[in-house]
Amino acid sequence: MLNNARSHGLWELTAPKAPETEALTSKIEVDVAVIGGGYTGLSAALYLAEGAADVALLEQVEIGFGGAGRNAGLVNAGMWVMPDTLTDVLGNHYGERLIRLLGGAPQLVFDLIEKHRIACEAEREGTLHCAVGSRGLEELKQRAAQWQRFGAPVSLLDAKETETKVGTSAYSGSLLDLRAGTIQPLAYARGLARAALDAGAQIFTRSKVIGAERVNDRWELKTATGSVSARWIVVATDVYTDGLWPEIRMEQVSLPYFSFATAQLSGNLRASILPGKQGAWDTNTVPSYFRFDRAGRLLFGSVGALRGSGAGIHRAWARRALRKLFPQIGDVSFEAEWYGRIGMTDDNLPRFHKLADNVVAFSGYNGRGIAPGTTFGRVLASYILGQIAEKDLPLPVSPVGKPVFRAAKEAFYEAGAQLVHLSGARL
């Protein structure tokens, strides 16, 4: 996208074409305007249209341009933090509600894929969270115990079982979560867009919202070439927020992450690495992930940005780390490389905001965008349609915060990832 091969990498090369959309060039009137063409915005537009609302989605660039088109494609349950953290921070009422809602979020994703026949390489074989050393194993024991209290189908595997599942002896154990799986994330976003259009939603790309004004009981949104009058606004731009309601971006620390994709591996190699087709990631402080796409390319990534000196440092590290994890792989070549950013809140939990009268937003996915984003989009649609009340939402209304030393933290994370990877995975 935008002639930048490092923005969406393999996903742009292998996703089905996006549905035909155009820029907004007229004045329209709808019930709901959705800003942002990622999972939350597309899901909200789909469910609003299915609920007989007149809805228009405005996307600044293209469908899936932000995190929806750049992530690792791991469809995980829950948030990054452990379940008990949700109740500790939010209290039992909201914490347990959010745990159960997001515990079932992968099922919603796969149900939508099946219902709308979205071609996005969906694999429902679970994910493996791999323990690094005794400390990592203890963390996974706690995660397993907490999820099992809620009846989740998670299993703690020992080192030998993990070696069989992953294809390396590098890990002391792993947590297998059978709720989870993998997808081609940009293909999923484009499939949601097509489903929303089929349901009656309007989608306009290359339509950045540059102004918003309250006129009586409606909002007037302006783009460079058109305008939308709407009763409600859904702001679904998260850490890629640019322009209106910048506080959504300002309350998050932007964490860069990158991915590399190898050339297609031989059948023998593919049989020795993740033979069960799970997606995997580890418990390192600077974590890495790995998984296959359906064509047999091994994807590998971690924290960091592929720009400036980072591009060479992270590329060299990825080659070393892959050889260390999987010696059988030998020297690898990469067909694609890309990177994006994750928005991290100060407590690693998402937020529900009422930014103004009839202006609502979920944000702060903290690296868990696919399933929570899809689910929160449905929640917003239900709220606007009057199917649920504010007291029934999975999160309380939060004031917009601002992390201390946000800019310094962002610079530190990018530079710190380079330092870790400069010396890491030496053979």
Residue 204 shares a structural domain with residue 314: no
Is 107 a domain residue? Answer: no
Tell me, yes or no, whether 365 lies in a domain: yes
Spatial distance between the Cα atoms of 285 and 327, rounded to a whole number of angstroms: 23
Domain that includes residue 68, residue range: 5-72+186-252+346-404
b/e per residue, 160-199, with b = 16+ CB within 10 A?
eebeebbbbebbbbbbbbbbbbbbbbbbbbbbbbbbbbeb
For residues 35 and 175, membership in a common domain is answered with no
The answer to whether residue 206 is domain-embedded is yes
Q: Both 331 and 263 in a single domain?
A: yes
pLDDT at 404: 81
Q: Is there a single domain that holds both residue 190 and residue 305?
A: no
Considering the domain architecture, whether residues 276 and 333 belong to the same structural domain is answered as: yes
Q: Is residue 133 part of a domain?
A: yes
334 with 389, same domain: the answer is no
Token pair for residue 9?
A: 């990498």
CA pair distance 280, 174, nearest whole angstrom: 9
Residue 104 lies in a domain: no
Cβ count near 211 (within 10 Å): 11
Same domain, residue pair 207 and 136: no
Residues 178 and 60 occupy one common structural domain = no
pLDDT, tens digit only, all 427 positions of the chain? 888 989 999 999 999 999 999 999 999 999 999 999 999 999 999 999 999 999 999 999 999 999 999 999 999 999 989 999 999 999 999 999 999 999 999 999 999 999 999 999 999 999 999 999 999 999 999 999 999 999 999 999 999 999 999 999 999 999 999 999 999 999 999 999 999 999 999 999 999 999 999 999 999 999 999 999 999 999 999 999 988 999 999 999 999 999 999 999 999 999 999 999 999 999 999 999 999 999 999 999 999 999 999 999 999 999 999 999 999 999 899 999 999 999 999 999 999 999 999 999 999 999 999 999 999 999 999 999 999 999 999 999 998 888 888 999 999 999 999 999 998 876 5
Number of folded domains that form the chain? 2
d(CA 78, CA 147): 9
**What is residue 427's predicted lDDT score, i.e. its pLDDT?**
55
One domain for residues 209 and 324: no
User: What per-residue confidence (pLDDT) applies to 402?
Assistant: 82
Residues 293 and 394 in one domain: no
Cβ–Cβ under 8 Å, residues 350 and 272: no
Does 163 reside within a domain?
yes
With beta carbons less than 8 A apart as the criterion, state whether 371 and 106 touch.
yes
- On whether residue 88 sits in a domain, the answer given is no
CATH number at residue 339: 3.30.9.10
Cα 244 off chain centre by: 22
Same domain, yes or no: 209 and 143: no
Neighbouring C-beta atoms of residue 405, cutoff 10 Å: 10
Mark whether 9 and 53 lie in a shared domain. Answer: yes
**What per-residue confidence (pLDDT) applies to 65?**
97
